[in-house]
Chains A and B, each alone.
Chain A
Amino acid sequence: MREQIMNHTLSTVQIKPASRVPEFLRKKKRWNEILIQGFLFFCGFVSILTTIGIVFELGKESLLFFANPDVSLLEFFTNTRWQPSIGEFGILPLATSTLLTTLIAMIVALPVGLSAAIFLSEYASSKARSVLKPILEILAGVPTVVYGYFALTFMTPVLRGIFGEQNVEIYNTLSAGLVMGIMILPLVSSMSEDALTAVPRSLREAAYGLGSTRLETAVQIVVPAALSGIIAAFIIAISRAIGETMIVAIAAGSGSNFTFNPFKAAETMTGYIARISGGDVGYDTPDYNSIFAIGLVLFLVTLGLNILSRRLSAKYREVYE
């Protein structure tokens, strides 16, 4: 029947050949719009330049480092000693202490941070939340040099008081790791809380509607639904811990040490970079080139974590309408 109408009308309406678009519809060239768009694109492109800069600089100097006949890639990843000035080029001691501090930090930050997030999003009244959240965010805003200072002047003495001076060295990875965990905690709780609050209320209502308690709803329904955001928070926390510099530079010690004992001093990758670049080493020495090689490793690791984070959170993301 529709066909009918159309055939009917088509034959009656004259279709003009639209050769030229009339003035009131014709396209205008708007130069300012084009220029602005160009500028804006450039702004976006700066980030690409930054990445290229990072990769290029780190890569270039790392090449110099690996071009050194004393350095072999195999040795770099397997040797357990790191003393570039005397030809010991094993990243392991730096890597293990980075691992150790990160691990300790995560043991603190992840469970406590997630618990706090659950409390804020599922239990706290909106009033309590509006007070508690900013306070936690202050904790996140404190510069890391302050945390480093806190680790050295407060946490270490406390640890030595607990475990005994003879057991805990003055510089130790435990203190640095714990304080790093404290520093990262608000990041975990804040991001996880965002993820939890983003879970639609309808899901909670569905759970309560089945006669579940608050705990069951929170842990069995809301947390799994927010998993993608929580995983992202966790991984970002890990990469923050790996990249954190000042706390370990101040409190973890300043000599590479291949150990898994958290009471001992051990220098992390970032700590090493900070110390060497703090001025004690000349350009074009193996030490100097080595900070770029370590920087490259650091960059690749955090990049990998970023990508992993996005992959995982995409995998666990649920789309609610």
Chain B
Amino acid sequence: MNEYTDLAGESNTNLQKRHRDSKIWRTIFYASTAAAIIILAILILSIVNQAFGLVVLKNTVEPEKISSVPLEQLSSQDLIKILKKNLTSNRYKTIDRDMPFTARSQADLVDLVIAEVVKPTVVDSYHLDVSILHRNEIMARAAEKYPNGHVEFHSWLNPEFITRSMSSTPELAGVRTAIFGSLWIILITVLVAFPTGVGAAIYLEEYAASNRINKIIQTNIDNLAGVPSIIYGILGLAIFVRGLGYFTGGGFLGSGETGGRTILSAGLTMALLILPILIINAQEAIRAVPRSLREASYGLGATKWQTIWHHVLPSALPGILTGTILAISRAIGETAPLILVGASSFINRDPSSVFSRFTALPIQIYNWTTRPQDEFRNIAAAAILVLLVLLLSLNAFAILMRNRFTRRIS
């Protein structure tokens, strides 16, 4: 009986050691997971840190030089006069065409004078952490170095940043063109990859007999999923940009464009890139449709396609869509293939068709990290936040969609 009084195992040193080991490793495993999550936090914080902070602004023309009275106290006529005097005639006309000066309020005109004539520009910028911890030193240094400058808190991520197009001046640059470029590329990518990918998945799961060619196709898709994206870039460059440049550049439509560095080429390249991922995900989703559902359908005398179209696809759709959205998130963030396919570094117009030249968010981020001025680093961080928000909303959308469809089915 004696040996059973010690179910707690207190006298058993071996057991105690085992429990101790178990605890130590538990801590290690836990720490690994925590480390991954802490890194994610650091990553995001370090980006946020650069997207906000104090800046030192300096006016290109001091307001006192334009008028002896403060601008706010000037009449509309005086303000218009100032504009007329200080702007080129073409610029003056352009602004007038956007909205006639006479139709603008006095406050608007004051803003306009500040933006067009006084033109405060950022001469120095600080990261968020420094801005908070060393605010006074920054103030002191700014006062010494830029006697006419003033310090203010600036969020590089702001509405204008999203709506403005590109500029070589960081504080005037925005990501609108890049966002549109990314969206256009994604559109092409989805239009091409989704039907093809789902079609291939259906073929492999429902039709393909296990013969040689189908085995080759399957193996090949698995292999393609592991091919580095830059190789797809090379493929896109060789085939879509150069080989088929006449078509992808819209030359065959008489657009006069030559060279295929267009949205179409980028979209097609991305489509090839995500196709294997999409197919594999869709295959999994289709495979997850219970066999009983297919059997029920066949048992009623349904044909193969009727079964697939009415039962298999609707049931697999949430899974397929989730996989598609994940593949799209991959495509949105891809940079290397776009570099090869020839994204533009500076472009002022939103793309208007698939034959437009383009830039995309990650390309923009990459370009900005390579510019010399510090402020470009700030807007690169802001653009990263835009990209992350875009990705997160896509993922959230994927989850919502999945939940919606799952609810409908059950």
A binding-site residues for B, Cβ under 8 Å: 30, 32-33, 36-37, 39-48, 50-51, 53-54, 57-58, 61, 111-113, 115-116, 118-120, 122-124, 132, 135-136, 138-139, 141-150, 152-154, 182, 185-186, 189, 213-216, 219, 236, 239-240, 242-246, 249-250, 270, 273-274, 277-279, 291-292, 295, 298-299, 302-303, 305-307, 309-310
CA distance A291 to B235 in the complex (A): 12
Report whether B369 and A149 are in contact in the complex, using a CB–CB cutoff of 8 Å: yes
Report whether A44 and B365 are in contact in the complex, using a CB–CB cutoff of 8 Å: no
| B90 CB–A CB distance under 8 Å | no
Interface size on B, residues (CB 8 A): 86
Report whether B220 and A149 are in contact in the complex, using a CB–CB cutoff of 8 Å: no
| B304 CB–A CB distance under 8 Å | yes
> Which residues of A have CB within 8 Å of B234?
54, 57-58, 273, 277, 291-292, 295
> Which residues of A have CB within 8 Å of B217?
44-45, 47-48
CA distance A157 to B255 in the complex (A): 49
Interface centre among B19, B36, B388 (most CB of A within 10 A): B36
> Which residues of A have CB within 8 Å of B305?
32-33, 36
Report whether A40 and B200 are in contact in the complex, using a CB–CB cutoff of 8 Å: yes
CA distance A279 to B36 in the complex (A): 36
Report whether B239 and A53 are in contact in the complex, using a CB–CB cutoff of 8 Å: yes
Report whether B238 and A123 are in contact in the complex, using a CB–CB cutoff of 8 Å: no
Interface centre among A44, A116, A120 (most CB of B within 10 A): A44
| B4 CB–A CB distance under 8 Å | no
Of chain A, the residue at the smallest CB distance from B204 is A44
Q: A115-B28, A146-B47, A292-B234 are in contact. Are A40 and B202 (CB under 8 A)?
A: yes
> Which residues of A have CB within 8 Å of B366?
145, 148, 246, 250
Of chain A, the residue at the smallest CB distance from B238 is A57
Q: Which of A149, A236, A278, A291 contacts B384 (CB 8 A)?
A: A149
Of chain A, the residue at the smallest CB distance from B43 is A150
| B69 CB–A CB distance under 8 Å | no
Report whether B207 and A43 are in contact in the complex, using a CB–CB cutoff of 8 Å: no
Q: Which of A115, A153, A236, A305 contacts B32 (CB 8 A)?
A: A115
Chain B binding surface, main DSSP class: helix
CA distance A274 to B232 in the complex (A): 12
Q: A30-B303, A40-B202, A139-B36 are in contact. Are A243 and B30 (CB under 8 A)?
A: no
CA distance A302 to B235 in the complex (A): 16
| B334 CB–A CB distance under 8 Å | yes
Contact with A along B198-215 (1 / 0, CB 8 A): 111011100110000010
CA distance A135 to B391 in the complex (A): 13
Interface centre among B25, B31, B228, B333 (most CB of A within 10 A): B228
> Which residues of B have CB within 8 Å of A243?
227-231
Report whether A119 and B239 are in contact in the complex, using a CB–CB cutoff of 8 Å: no
Q: Which of A47, A148, A185, A274 contacts B340 (CB 8 A)?
A: A274
Report whether A145 and B19 are in contact in the complex, using a CB–CB cutoff of 8 Å: no
**A-B contacts, 7 listed (Cβ < 8 Å):** A58-B231, A115-B33, A135-B37, A154-B42, A213-B19, A274-B339, A306-B222
Q: A43-B196, A119-B32, A138-B40 are in contact. Are A245 and B230 (CB under 8 A)?
A: yes
Q: A44-B204, A279-B342 are in contact. Are A146 and B384 (CB under 8 A)?
A: yes
CB B133 to nearest CB in A, in angstroms, measures 16
Q: A150-B43, A302-B226 are in contact. Are A33 and B303 (CB under 8 A)?
A: yes
Report whether B207 and A118 are in contact in the complex, using a CB–CB cutoff of 8 Å: no
| B111 CB–A CB distance under 8 Å | no
> Which residues of A have CB within 8 Å of B388?
142, 146
| B163 CB–A CB distance under 8 Å | no
Of chain B, the residue at the smallest CB distance from A52 is B220
> Which residues of B have CB within 8 Å of A214?
22, 26
CB A253 to nearest CB in B, in angstroms, measures 14
Q: A40-B207, A61-B238, A302-B227 are in contact. Are A47 and B276 (CB under 8 A)?
A: yes
Report whether A48 and B18 are in contact in the complex, using a CB–CB cutoff of 8 Å: no
Of chain B, the residue at the smallest CB distance from A215 is B22
> Which residues of B have CB within 8 Å of A246?
335-336, 362, 366
| B29 CB–A CB distance under 8 Å | yes
> Which residues of A have CB within 8 Å of B276?
47
Contact with A along B313-346 (1 / 0, CB 8 A): 0000000000000100110111110011010000
| B50 CB–A CB distance under 8 Å | yes
In the complex, which residues 78-123 of chain B have their Cβ closer than 8 Å to any Cβ of chain A? none
> Which residues of A have CB within 8 Å of B138?
none
Report whether A270 and B220 are in contact in the complex, using a CB–CB cutoff of 8 Å: no
CA distance A270 to B198 in the complex (A): 31
| B267 CB–A CB distance under 8 Å | no
Report whether A298 and B35 are in contact in the complex, using a CB–CB cutoff of 8 Å: no
Report whether A46 and B391 are in contact in the complex, using a CB–CB cutoff of 8 Å: no
Report whether A270 and B228 are in contact in the complex, using a CB–CB cutoff of 8 Å: yes
Report whether B46 and A150 are in contact in the complex, using a CB–CB cutoff of 8 Å: yes
Report whether B39 and A139 are in contact in the complex, using a CB–CB cutoff of 8 Å: yes
Contact with A along B360-385 (1 / 0, CB 8 A): 00100110010000000100110010
CA distance A148 to B46 in the complex (A): 13
Q: Which of B26, B40, B235, B272 contacts A215 (CB 8 A)?
A: B26
> Which residues of B have CB within 8 Å of A146?
43, 47, 333, 365, 384, 387-388
Report whether A118 and B339 are in contact in the complex, using a CB–CB cutoff of 8 Å: no
CA distance A138 to B228 in the complex (A): 21
> Which residues of B have CB within 8 Å of A298?
228, 230-231
Report whether B32 and A306 are in contact in the complex, using a CB–CB cutoff of 8 Å: no
CA distance A307 to B224 in the complex (A): 11
Report whether B36 and A186 are in contact in the complex, using a CB–CB cutoff of 8 Å: yes
Q: A136-B37, A243-B228 are in contact. List 6 more A-B contacts (CB 8 A).
A: A36-B305, A40-B199, A45-B217, A112-B32, A144-B336, A214-B26
CB A160 to nearest CB in B, in angstroms, measures 15
> Which residues of A have CB within 8 Å of B29?
115-116, 118-119, 122-123
| B279 CB–A CB distance under 8 Å | yes
CB A91 to nearest CB in B, in angstroms, measures 16
| B237 CB–A CB distance under 8 Å | yes
> Which residues of A have CB within 8 Å of B381?
149
CB A251 to nearest CB in B, in angstroms, measures 10
Q: A33-B304, A37-B207, A40-B207 are in contact. Are A152 and B33 (CB under 8 A)?
A: no
Report whether A47 and B224 are in contact in the complex, using a CB–CB cutoff of 8 Å: yes
Report whether B223 and A149 are in contact in the complex, using a CB–CB cutoff of 8 Å: no
Report whether A50 and B22 are in contact in the complex, using a CB–CB cutoff of 8 Å: no
Report whether A216 and B231 are in contact in the complex, using a CB–CB cutoff of 8 Å: no
Report whether A145 and B33 are in contact in the complex, using a CB–CB cutoff of 8 Å: no
Report whether A142 and B200 are in contact in the complex, using a CB–CB cutoff of 8 Å: no
Report whether B387 and A278 are in contact in the complex, using a CB–CB cutoff of 8 Å: no
